[in-house]
Structure 1
Amino acid sequence: MKKLICNLFLVLFSTVSVFASAPKSPKTLKPVSRLDTATLATGCFWCTEAKFKQLKGVEKVVSGFTGGHVAHPSYRQVCTGTTGHAEACNIIYDPKKISFDELLKAFFVAHDPTQLNRQGNDVGTQYRSAIFYHNPEQKQKAEYYIKKLNAEKAYKQNIVTEVKPFTVFYKAEDYHQDYFSRNGDVPYCKYVIQPELEKFKKVFKDKLKN
């Protein structure tokens, strides 16, 4: 079963320096558009989608595949672990309501970033932990937090999250979209996603949509 190390991050959030001292965006940057995109991989995309959809400021979450070498892969192809793709989500968000920093906080709570090419019983490179950055600022922040969390030994082991440039994102088949909300009674949803989602919601209770 996939585990969420919630207790570590309850402590982490009380350590203001970790996230409060993040590098500031240069004032010379152009104003951001109303919506922005973060592309994150935390294992099974059903679980990733279910969690990030709960956050205020997140307009849409799309499940799909990225980071590999096969064009327009199917879910079955990705499941073989031979396409190089990770199960990931495009998280469309309003930066005036939720920042990329806050999404990274959620990212590091949503899964165990010290597990290499797996999350719990989901094993394979397609389940790797990864941040696919869309601009230099996202890259800088991702690398900053990983370095900081490792330095403060937030985990017993070092973070293995990949930080890679975003290239192309392939949307997964329609039946993968909104999977948890449409299939809550399926055993995987009931016994794996639901418990993790409840833990996630407790950590971010002040950031949840009504």
Structure 2
Amino acid sequence: MTNIETATLAGGCFWCLESAFNSVAGVKSAFSGYAGGHLDNPSYEQICQGDTGHAEVVQVNFDTDQLSYRDVLEIFFALHNPTQLNRQGNDIGTQYRTGIFYHDQKQKQIAAEIIQEISDEEIWPDPVVTELVEINNYYQAEDYHQDYFSNNPQNQYCNMVVAPKLAKFKQKFASKLKQ
């Protein structure tokens, strides 16, 4: 019997996070979506206006017999810059903020510990601004956002942003990838 846990993470464009997590052994699914806002069932267009309060997130369902929540967060922090407030690279707006939407107190504690470790180790020259908030909603993004990188290899953004980030990720985490 497997033990499935859910992590909901915001780290810029959800296409990058989703494509990386879907390649990790132990991840059963990773879906692009929206969390943390005040509008029910928002659309991508509404999110992009920047006034719904939602972040682009990836909801990761993983088998805790193969991958720990700490492992998931270590991958998450390797995939984005947690010191950029309301942006990742050229993607600017509150929807691109860095955040961990915890599902229980254990996740909150582990996330707080990792954020403190990253801060103490001074891995980044600037302070970590990753928000740590309890999940209050999650809406799966439109179908065309799911597996976007795999389904749209010709897309310029995918070629310039997602592909290099994914290649670097796969080198660093080769031992954790699906066979």
TM-score by length of 2: 0.98
* 1:68 alignment partner in structure 2: 37
Question: How far apart are 1:152 and its partner, in Å?
Answer: 1.4
Q: Which amino acid aligns with 1:206?
A: S
Q: Distance in 2 between matches of 1:92 and 1:38?
A: 7
The one of 164, 169, 173 equivalent to 1:195 is 164
Q: What is the TM-score with the length of structure 1 in the denominator? A: 0.84
Matched, 1:165 2:126: no
Corresponding position: 1:41 with 2:10: yes
CA distance in 2, matches of 1:155, 1:190: 26
Shift of 1:121: 0.3
Residue 151 of structure 1 and its aligned partner are, at CA, apart by 1.1
Alpha-carbon distance, 1:40 to partner = 0.4
- Does 1:131 pair with 2:109? no
Deviations 1:147-179 (A, max 9, x none): 111111111011000000011100111100110
| Residue correspondence of structure 1 range 27-106 to structure 2 within 5 A | 34-106=3-75
**In the TM superposition, what is the alpha-carbon distance from 1:34 to its structure 2 partner?**
1.8
Kept in 1, the 8 Å contact 2:2–2:65? The answer is no
Confirm or deny that 1:174 pairs with 2:110: no
User: Is the 2:14–2:33 Cα contact (8 Å) retained in structure 1?
Assistant: yes
What is the Cα deviation at residue 61 of structure 1? Answer: 0.6
By how many angstroms is 1:108 displaced?
0.6
> How many Å apart are 1:196 and its aligned residue?
0.4
Q: Structure 1 residue 33: deviation in Å?
A: 6.4
Aligned length: 179
2:170 aligned with 1:204, yes or no? no
* DSSP 3-state at the match of 1:54: coil
Structure 2: how far apart are the matches of 1:152 and 1:195?
26
1:190 Cα deviation from its structure 2 partner = 1.1
Say which one has the larger Rg: 1
CA distance in 1, matches of 2:48, 2:120: 34
- Structure-1 residue corresponding to 2:153: 184
1:112-161 deviation per Cα after TM superposition (whole angstroms, max 9, x unaligned): 00000000000000000000000100000111111111111111011000
The residue aligned with 2:77 is 108
- Residue of structure 2 equivalent to 1:120: 89
Corresponding residue SS for 1:39: strand
Identity of aligned residues (%): 49
Other structure's SS at 1:206 match: helix
Contact 2:37 2:137 in 1 (8 A): no
CA distance in 2, matches of 1:81, 1:156: 28
CA distance in 1, matches of 2:160, 2:126: 27
> Which one has the bigger strand percentage?
2
